[in-house]
Structure 1
Amino acid sequence: MNYEIKGNVVPAVEVSLSRGESVFTQSGGMFYQTEGIKMDTNTRGGLFKGIGRMFAGESMFMATYTATQDAKVAFASTLPGSIIPVDVSEGRFTIQKGAFLAAESSIELRTTFNKKLGTGFFGGEGFILQELSGRGIAFLEVDGDAIEMNLAPGEVLKVDTGNLVGFEDSVRYEVESVKGLGNILFGGEGLFLTRLTGPGKVILQTMNMNEFVLRIDSYMPKSTT
């Protein structure tokens, strides 16, 4: 499978498939396709996996596109940002909900829940994650610009949960509270931060959708009735 990422502001990835090759995406994720593509829509793994994806911000149904001859199919991002390819053959990769765009059919996408209750109640998005495993390439949708960092063994990175896209399986993921009453009340960064400990690759995004939505909402007219 070959691919090309096209565009800069709201990019798309065009995948070139040989006969018999296939890729999958969430329902409604296809941008365009050439002749010679067959589509099959199902829950991909059963009802419970479909429901799990709904909790993770994806669609319950997934669409698989299989080439019946040499053909192309493209998938576009939904917001201004970037598309990042990840080679899952190198090891499992954990991503935030909503980050998945498309992947080769040899890859499994499953929903996972952070086992620490503190993360679920206070860590926001970090409670529900998705795990990519198998062999092949997956494409991640990044809001804003993508920043990749390789953490050394024991190196710690603290990041706002909304700015985290994903990390390798070797990276330890935790949530910790912001210290200091003044920082909590007036710091504007929320109560908790995501703590990532190396070794391993981490992908961040410069746009935090939660903060972006709140900023847009502040400009919306409010009803006086």
Structure 2
Amino acid sequence: MNYTIEGSTMQTLTVDLLAGDSLYAGPGKMLWMDEQIEMKANLRGGLAKGIRRVLSGESLALTTFNAPDRRGRIGFAPLAPGKIIPLEVSPSKEYICQKDAFMLAEDSVDLDIHIQRKIMTGLFGGEGFIMQRLSGSGMAFVDIMGDVVEFDLEAGQQLKVDTSHVALMESTVTMDIERVKGVRTILLGGEGLFLTKLTGPGKVWVQSLSLANFASMVSNQGQ
């Protein structure tokens, strides 16, 4: 798949499809497309899988785009300011991302849910019990709010992140929580009661702006 990412704070993604190629995308992500591109909404994977996607922040139906006869181009854009991250998914390289992060993927990539098995992590880790999982083989794209900082953790190396700022990670990274130490720090530090603790090996993407903070900013400006 050939693609181009343009822009800085509000990026766009242009994808070239060869004849016979197809991809699927989340709702509202398509910006424009050539006339030869066909678009169709469907319950990808059936109703049960559609319901699973809803739990991870996606729509019940996804939209499939294909170029049946000849090459065509499609433009996509995220719904909020941020970065578009390209991912090469393979059986040895799967990804876990926050709710609503999925943008689009080749037909050979599977989008499903990832369930946090640790109750405390699900309650206080900032990402909830259900996240999104990308597996299979092919290219996928996610959109992340704000700017992005990447970390490549070695085996056993840990990174502590403010809750709700973990945007994306390789499936080899484990997620847990850690309580902030010190009553004064908890009450006056402004970081809350818990931090998210990530342990390598694997790559992690941290976002500078969380959905909760963005919603709070918009709400405050409207008052």
TM-score using structure 2 length = 0.93
Equivalent position amino acid for 1:175 in 2: I
Between the aligned residues of both structures, percent identity stands at 44
Equivalent position amino acid for 2:87 in 1: V
Match for 1:104 among 106, 116, 129? 106
Task: Identify the range of structure 1 (125-134 vs 10-19) with the bigger mean alpha-carbon deviation.
Answer: 125-134
SS in structure 1 at match of 2:192: coil
Q: Which runs of 5+ in 2 are unaligned?
A: none
Shift of 1:3: 0.4
Task: Identify the range of structure 1 (136-145 vs 40-49) with the bigger mean alpha-carbon deviation.
Answer: 40-49
Structure number having the greater helix percentage: 1
Q: Distance in 2 between matches of 1:168 and 1:124?
A: 18
Is 1:174 the counterpart of 2:176 in the alignment?
yes
Q: Who is 2:37 aligned against?
A: 37
Residues 196-215 of structure 1 aligned to structure 2 (within 5 Å): 196-215=198-217
Match for 1:218 among 210, 217, 220? 220
Shift of 1:72: 0.6
Equivalent position amino acid for 1:99 in 2: A
Q: Who is 2:22 aligned against?
A: 22
Residues 149-164 of structure 1 aligned to structure 2 (within 5 Å): 149-164=151-166
Is 1:139 the counterpart of 2:141 in the alignment?
yes
Shift of 1:45: 1.1
Is 1:71 the counterpart of 2:72 in the alignment?
yes
Q: Distance in 1 between matches of 2:188 and 2:219?
A: 20
Shift of 1:121: 2.4
**TM-align CA RMSD:** 1.5
Q: Who is 1:85 aligned against?
A: 86
SS in structure 2 at match of 1:28: coil
Q: Is the 8 A contact 2:125 2:176 kept in 1?
A: no
SS in structure 2 at match of 1:84: strand
Q: Distance in 2 between matches of 1:23 and 1:96?
A: 21
Equivalent position amino acid for 1:20 in 2: G
SS in structure 2 at match of 1:185: helix
Task: Identify the range of structure 1 (154-163 vs 10-19) with the bigger mean alpha-carbon deviation.
Answer: 154-163
Q: Which runs of 5+ in 1 are unaligned?
A: none
Q: Distance in 1 between matches of 2:107 and 2:187?
A: 47
Q: Distance in 2 between matches of 1:190 and 1:56?
A: 25
Count of residue pairs brought into register by the alignment: 221
Shift of 1:219: 4.1
Q: Who is 1:48 aligned against?
A: 48
Equivalent position amino acid for 2:71 in 1: D
Q: Distance in 1 between matches of 2:189 and 2:61?
A: 40
Equivalent position amino acid for 2:78 in 1: S
Match for 2:122 among 100, 120, 123? 120
SS in structure 1 at match of 2:127: helix
- Runs of 4+, deviation exceeding 6 Å: none
Shift of 1:7: 2.1
